[in-house]
Structure 1
Amino acid sequence: MKRECDDVFLDDLEVIIPNLSARYSGGTAVNRTIAPLIAGRCNAAWLGVDRPEGVKGLSFGDLLALRFRAPKNHAFRIFHARRNVEMLAGLVLKALGLRIKLIFNSAAQRRHSRYTRFLLSKMDAIIATSEIAAGFLEHPSTVIHHGIDVETYAPPADRLKAFAESGLPGKYGVGVFGRVRKQKGIDLFVESMLQLLPRYPDFTAVVIGLTTADNRAFLDGLKAQVAAAGLEKRILFLGELPIEEVPVWYKRISIYVFASRVEGFGLTMLEAMAAGAAVVATRAGAAEIVIKDGESGVLAPTGDVEALVASIEPLMREPEKAARIGEKAREVVLQDFNRDREVDEIVGVYRKLWDV
């Protein structure tokens, strides 16, 4: 049986895209989104789990074979890491004799641990996902904002009809997507809905995302609050959905609430904007970079339920205003945060290394 990475491909291989975490996360989602486009511009292969279509798979046996195969097109191959474990793997592979240069994508908006700073000091290039993230690095970096697949995340032809097809009560949806944990501000969203939904009977709220075992008590507490308020049919916890179903829900909701207390970038915010939903975002991650307050979204302080309520309510009171802001948000993503632009800039970093 012919291997997926045959000998000719190994000779031509230019970029290795590792994904070495068993847990599906935002980093995995970003990797899966852009890897096929990178593979369309370079000879690239995926190492690890959750490989997307359009990218060849690379086994650890293939890595060992690469020790004895000089790159055909360049003096070295690119190993593009997004996690500490992948930086470490790259360093080990380099020590074993692979001719690679190491790149790391940094999204964290905090001072890195001593261990991470050590790994970063060994990278040949660093990409920061925002100017804020770059400010926490002790090494030079290239700022490249995340991009969105604007075809997958696109507005519906009729948002009211799209919501009606969900079978949920009311006419409009308001939602938050992401891991159900305190960092993401899911509790702030639920508490704001407990105040707002009784005033606006045409709205239903949805929470979509994975709850890990260590956050089960957190979720149970939120459900208890909802039950005590008698709003079980209007604040729904849908759990983790198949990845292909998530864009459908962006089309259904009119308002998206990005309530994070701490965030690296905030990819769901961009996805919602691309789908034409009005975004209310706390000033976390890249929200202040992405959103012009009152035009392409609404900004609110972090960790403040009353401020969040005050920011969401005008859009619930005037759904037409939410629609207008959603249209502007889509324009912003098309112009500044599309996926092709992100990939072009990433490949530009590769080429700078190859040209040295």
Structure 2
Amino acid sequence: MGKNGDPAIIDIRDVEVIAPNFKRRLSGVTSTIIQLVPVQRSLGQKVAALGPGLPSDLPHIRYRDLFRLWSPPRGRRCRIWHARRNIEMLPAIFMRDVLRMPMKIVFTSASQRRHTGWTKWLVSKMDGVIATSGKTADYLTVKNTVVLHGIDTNRFSPPSDTAEAKRARGLDPAQKIVGCFGRVRRQKGTDLFVDSMIKVLAERRDWSAIVAGRATGPHVDFEDGLKKKVAAAGLADRILFVGEHTDINEWYRALDLFIAPQRWEGFGLTPLEAMATAVPVIATDVGAFPELLVTGEEETGLIIARDSVDAMAEAAAALMDDEPRRKAASIRSRAHALENFSIEGEAKLLGNIYRITASA
């Protein structure tokens, strides 16, 4: 507890792992830290965050606490500094190699492209490297361990009554709903989703679609264009733009099918959130999506070619028109997420890596 009595400030002597966040704007990395740190601490891992853009109630240390890193934590030879960006690797290298602070550095890479020479040099100085997917691991030239992201499978869980879940969101409970959640922009493939829905919904009056997410800056005009296209197709009452919501887990509970239409993605949590809510998924072959879904006999959904309205429309129609197949995929989706993608599982794997790295 700090001098101001704030219980979220952790005594640096009790911190064995520091999770820095040196970017003020909310990003996927920031979200990962916010979700992981409390779970890690609940498992007995002495982790604390550092940096701006984090909730005040998240267990954290202050910048001035860095001057005390010459002393290791109670009962340990060194601390772990878990970096997730270049800007977080560099100061750690300085503290470890120049200031000789007792510290080991772990880096998580989510990149799915060849690193620049500068990034390669930084990564080469790490004591441990984590890849967020097998595809990311293929781009690394150093030894690494794959740890797929997990999600809160309690927050993202099926409703007891789907019709009531729809009614609570202001949706018609008689309609089946297909959703696309995330930032509204071309990279995220929102236009592909809208165009494919215009193709399939005309002949399927019992289905509606929702786009949940926010358009910012230059992407507002992009969203406005999509809304005009929907209106011109006469589907404004069945392809709905519902905006951004903090209770997005409740919107998943109203779905019968989820589509992740991205043209590019680093990892992408939305298919996991949908599957944990027992919603089958259609996803493009980008990011970690092919590693998240099960296709074939035990399918939880379908993987389709990126940037193809026809492929998306065909896959959507196939699952919309086959209720037994969809319901079987729904059951398997929840089981698959629970077994392989809980955030507790991710935190346990990270704890193992911390222990191995600290003892090396």
Give the Cα–Cα distance (whole angstroms) in 1 for the partners of residues 158 and 169 of structure 2: 16
Give the Cα–Cα distance (whole angstroms) in 2 for the partners of residues 90 and 212 of structure 1: 34
Q: How many residues align?
A: 353
| Alignment of 1:88 onto 2:90 | yes
Structure 2 segments unaligned to the other structure (5+ residues): none
Deviation at 1:87, TM superposition (A): 2.1
| Alignment of 1:342 onto 2:346 | yes
| Alignment of 1:265 onto 2:251 | no
8 Å contact from structure 2 (residues 9, 60) kept in 1: no
C-alpha change, 1:119 and 1:266, in structure 2 (3 Å) is same
3-state SS of the aligned residue for 2:231?
A: helix
8 Å contact from structure 1 (residues 14, 73) kept in 2: no
3-state SS of the aligned residue for 2:40?
A: helix
Give the Cα–Cα distance (whole angstroms) in 1 for the partners of residues 272 and 10 of structure 2: 39
Match in the other structure for 1:166: 169
Quote the RMSD (CA, aligned, Å). 2.2
Deviation at 1:178, TM superposition (A): 1.4
Match of 1:121 among 124, 138, 141: 124
Match of 2:144 among 135, 141, 144: 141
| Alignment of 1:186 onto 2:175 | no
Once the two structures are superposed, what CA deviation does each residue of 1:277-329 show, in whole Å capped at 9, x if it has no partner? 11011111222222222411111111111011100112222344322211111
Once the two structures are superposed, what CA deviation does each residue of 1:34-76 show, in whole Å capped at 9, x if it has no partner? 1112223221111124545874221112223x24533323222
Q: Which has the higher helix share?
A: 1
C-alpha change, 1:308 and 1:149, in structure 2 (3 Å) is same
8 Å contact from structure 2 (residues 257, 281) kept in 1: yes
Summarize the alignment of residues 115-264 of structure 1 with structure 2, pairs less than 5 Å apart.
115-169=118-172, 171-242=175-246, 245-264=247-266
Match in the other structure for 2:50: 47
Match of 1:79 among 78, 81, 85: 81
8 Å contact from structure 1 (residues 251, 275) kept in 2: yes
Structure 1 segments unaligned to the other structure (5+ residues): none
Letter in 2 for 1:176: C
8 Å contact from structure 1 (residues 51, 57) kept in 2: no
Give the Cα–Cα distance (whole angstroms) in 2 for the partners of residues 58 and 348 of structure 1: 23
Give the Cα–Cα distance (whole angstroms) in 2 for the partners of residues 81 and 241 of structure 1: 29
Give the Cα–Cα distance (whole angstroms) in 2 for the partners of residues 274 and 8 of structure 1: 33
3-state SS of the aligned residue for 1:236?
A: strand
TM-score normalised per structure 1: 0.92
Match in the other structure for 1:2: 4
Match in the other structure for 2:321: 317
TM-score normalised per structure 2: 0.91
3-state SS of the aligned residue for 1:183?
A: coil
Deviation at 1:185, TM superposition (A): 1.3
Match in the other structure for 1:276: 278
Letter in 1 for 2:18: I
Match in the other structure for 1:306: 310
8 Å contact from structure 1 (residues 39, 54) kept in 2: no
Structure 1 runs (4+) deviating above 6 angstroms are 5-8
3-state SS of the aligned residue for 1:182?
A: coil
Give the Cα–Cα distance (whole angstroms) in 1 for the partners of residues 10 and 178 of structure 2: 51
Deviation at 1:202, TM superposition (A): 2.1
